[in-house]
């Protein structure tokens, strides 16, 4: 994806995940907005910039290395990552038996004390595979810690798991009893 589209993708994530109100947008219950409303708002904020078009959005969704956004008919949403105050409803689903969470080593004492918490976001974010989890963890630590989440047992105990994009799973807070630290994965 070229740098123009990368920049637009980041702005769209900001609007759809974190601050829709700054763009005069209101997300629906599943996090969708009308593409026409999003484009009007984004383009109004940058009058001197080449306008963002519906086909730019389609190209971002089709070519991004991570499936961050979803287009459905005339609407678009962020699939995960929300921190805005209206809680977005994601479809509850049965997770794989095991999921992973990559994080900074310095967070481990707190995580094994309090469990995995959503922190600034609406849900805990988990990865379906180890390489993805390590990549997430490397955003905060060059040698990230890898947590193995007993999703089967957590889900059976009533903790909610929700679909993100297939690679990213969302969950309610996960107590420490469902977490194990993997050794020497990074
Ligand atoms: C940590 C990016 C202390 C948690 C990524 C994480 C992902 C605790 C940080 C997606 C804690 C929150 C989400 C506790 C959790 N005590 N620290 N009790 N519980 N934490 O960014 O999962 O590129 O909100 O381990 O790739 O890192 O933006 O969550 O380190 O998919 O599309 O608190 O965001 O996707 O950080 O990342 P985040 P995350 P995009």
Mean pLDDT across the chain: 96
Q: Is 186's pLDDT higher than 80?
A: no
pLDDT digits (tens, 9 = 90+) for 27-64: 999 999 999 999 999 999 999 999 999 999 999 999 99
Ligand 1, atom 6, lies closest to the CA of: 103
Confidence (pLDDT) at 184: 67
Q: Confirm if 175 and 85 have CB atoms less than 8 A apart.
A: no
Q: Is 17's pLDDT higher than 60?
A: yes
- Same domain? For 64 and 126 the reply is no
- Per-residue confidence band for 185, with pLDDT thresholds at 50, 70 and 90: low
* 86 within domain boundaries: no
Q: How many structural domains is the chain composed of?
A: 2
- Same domain? For 102 and 72 the reply is no
Question: Can you give the CATH number for the domain in which 131 is found?
Answer: 3.20.170.30
Q: Is the CB of 128 under 6 A from ligand 1?
A: no
Question: Can you give the CATH number for the domain in which 38 is found?
Answer: 1.10.10.970
* 88 within domain boundaries: no
Q: What is the 51 CA–ligand 1 centroid distance (Å)?
A: 32
Measured from the Cβ of residue 105, the count of other Cβ atoms closer than 10 Å reads: 15
State how far the Cα of 58 lies from the Cα of 116, in Å rounded to an integer.
34
Distant-in-sequence, close-in-space partners of 171: CB < 8 Å, separation ≥ 6: 95, 99, 116, 123, 124, 126, 149, 151, 154, 159, 160, 161, 162
Q: Is the CB of 140 under 6 A from ligand 1?
A: yes
pTM score, whole prediction: 0.96
Q: Is the CB of 79 under 6 A from ligand 1?
A: no
Confidence (pLDDT) at 183: 84
- Same domain? For 53 and 103 the reply is no
* HEC string for the chain: CCHHHHHHHHHHHHHHHHCHHHHCCCCCCCCCEEHHHHHHHHHHHCCCCCCCCHHHHHHHHHHCCCCCEEEECCEEEECCCCCCCCCCCCCECCCCCEEEEEECHHHHHHHHHHCECCCCCCCEEEECCHHHHHHHHHCCCCCCEEEEEEHHHHHHCCCCEEECCCCEEEECCECHHHEEECCCCC
* 142 within domain boundaries: yes
pLDDT digits (tens, 9 = 90+) for 115-163: 999 999 999 999 999 999 999 999 999 999 999 999 999 999 999 999 9
- Same domain? For 44 and 11 the reply is yes
Q: Confirm if 120 and 82 have CB atoms less than 8 A apart.
A: no
Q: Is the CB of 82 under 6 A from ligand 1?
A: no
Ligand 1 pocket mutation pick from 1, 6, 119 by most atoms within 8 angstroms of CB:
119
pLDDT digits (tens, 9 = 90+) for 82-111: 999 999 999 999 999 999 999 999 999 999
* 144 within domain boundaries: yes
Give the number of the atom of ligand 1 that is nearest the alpha carbon of residue 66. Answer: 32
Q: What is the 79 CA–ligand 1 centroid distance (Å)?
A: 15
Angle at 128 between CA 124 and CA 133, to 5 degrees: 70
Q: Is the CB of 17 under 6 A from ligand 1?
A: no
Q: Is the CB of 15 under 6 A from ligand 1?
A: no
Q: What is the 125 CA–ligand 1 centroid distance (Å)?
A: 6
Confidence (pLDDT) at 1: 84
């Amino acid at each position: 994806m070229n740098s123009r589209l990368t920049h637009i993708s980041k702005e769209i994530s900001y609007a759809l995940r974190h601050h829709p109100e700054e763009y005069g947008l209101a997300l629906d219950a599943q996090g969708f907005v009308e593409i026409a409303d999003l484009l009007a708002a984004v383009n109004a904020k940058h009058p001197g910039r080449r306008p963002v078009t519906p086909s730019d959005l389609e190209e971002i969704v089709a070519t991004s290395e991570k499936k961050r956004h979803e287009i459905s008919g005339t609407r678009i949403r962020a699939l995960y990552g929300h921190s805005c105050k209206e809680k977005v409803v994601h479809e509850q689903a049965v997770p794989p038996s095991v999921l992973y969470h990559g994080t900074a080593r310095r967070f481990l004492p707190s995580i094994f004390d309090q469990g995995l918490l959503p922190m600034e976001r609406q849900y805990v974010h988990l990865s379906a595979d180890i390489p993805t989890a390590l990549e997430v963890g490397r955003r905060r630590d060059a040698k990230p810690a890898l947590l193995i989440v007993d999703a089967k047992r957590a889900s059976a105990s009533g903790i909610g798991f929700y679909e993100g994009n297939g690679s990213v799973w969302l969950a309610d807070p996960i107590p420490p009893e469902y977490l194990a630290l993997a050794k020497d994965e990074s």
